[in-house]
Copies of this chain bind each other. A is one copy, B any other.
Amino acid sequence: MKIICSKLNLVKGVNIVSKAVPSKTTMPILECILIDATTDIIKFTANDMELGIQTEIEGEIIDRGMIAIDAKIFSEIVRKLPENDVTITTDDNLQTTIVCEKAVFDISGKPGEEFSYLPVIEKEDSITISQFTLKEVIRQTIFSISDSESNKLMTGELFEINNNMLRVISLDGHRISIRKIALRDEVNNKKLIVPGKTLIEISKILSGEADSMVNISYTDNHVVFEFDRTIVVSRLIEGEYFKIDQMISNDHEIKIRINKKELLNCIDRATLLVKEGDKKPIIININDEVMELKIKSQIGSMNEEIYINKEGKNLMIGFNPRFLLDALRNIDDEEITLYLMNAKAPCFIKDDEESYIYLILPVNFNAVS
């Protein structure tokens, strides 16, 4: 194989596919990037068997062929080359020579045939949304997946297509995050549970442009994201996702309008007094026109008042401050609305259209604190 690509294009390609190179694996071939120049197009592929990424690289093919090269070494080398054209040549012994200006690297590769290609997916159905929307939706929900493997379903997000609406849902047992997007085209109803890791990695690759689209196609076992010149294939998580709609009620006794930034900064300050792993709740005392927030720990205590616009009764309720912070940091609205019932029922933060809904369970507290 002999190909010539600019350093820039190589770096771009390596950065994209590296997201699917496993950090630990018992199969050394998976630590490689496959450089495939067997057709008229140069393609880089990486695959950790759950998640696979393939991207096309602009460049010239002098001799067709393919080679698998250790992803870490290859990525470090191309990154440090001068900004110029790079020639990559392999010989019959899989010895790979990378030449750029006067710099010559020699490293050994592995046979491309040993590489696990991406699974070929018979696309049954698909939806199209912008890169911007997909990236935002992931950011706004990914924080409330669970990282514990003890409940596999919670490590993923539900992509629920229903009546030409896409709902993306995550939950970890203490809170639920939901974002809703209208789809442009008619599409069949479908539920996919996409692994959180896939979404985290894809979100790093997405340019986030509003006028560049992502095609999302799926079968019962796989989901395929296609955008720019990149294909991301991921296994789906098997199983029946939680019945969300039963948990979301529209009942409320208290409705509060509050400035998001003031609330966010106040809780952020309060968490200073809570050490990592400590479960001190923040106590919210809701009165007419004013909300008092209090926290008390071994380190000290804090209290602060924020003006609010309230409908309904007064209430004292406690929350894990980090759960409130996570939700508030991912809402773009300046003014937000909180809906509450009583000290034991969840708090909802949502907009009128329910384009976002954050449900957070309260925690018990001693009324004295």
Contacts and interface: CB of A to CB of B under 8 A. Distances in A.
A82 B301 contact: no
A269 B108 CA distance: 17
A299 interface: yes
A345 interface: no
A337 B35 CA distance: 42
Interface residues of A, number: 28
Contacts of A102: 304-306
Contacts of A76: 272
Contacts of A242: none
A210 interface: no
Nearest to A79: B272
A104 B303 contact: yes
A80 B265 CA distance: 8
Interface string A70-114: 100100110011100000000000000000001111111000000
A302 interface: yes
B266 A107 contact: no
Nearest to A73: B299
A77 B272 CA distance: 7
A239 interface: no
Interface in A268-323: 268-269, 272-273, 299-306
Contacts of A77: 269, 272
Contacts of A104: 302-304
Contacts of A266: 103
Interface string A133-170: 00000000000000000000000000000000000000
A82 B300 contact: no
A303 B80 CA distance: 14
A235 B77 CA distance: 45
B80 A272 contact: yes
Interface of A: 70, 73, 76-77, 80-82, 102-108, 265-266, 268-269, 272-273, 299-306
Given A73-B300, A80-B272, A105-B301, 20 more contacts: A70-B299, A73-B272, A73-B273, A80-B268, A80-B269, A82-B265, A102-B304, A103-B269, A103-B304, A104-B302, A104-B303, A105-B269, A105-B273, A105-B300, A106-B300, A106-B301, A107-B299, A107-B300, A107-B301, A108-B300
8 contacts: A77-B269, A77-B272, A103-B266, A103-B302, A104-B303, A104-B304, A105-B269, A106-B302
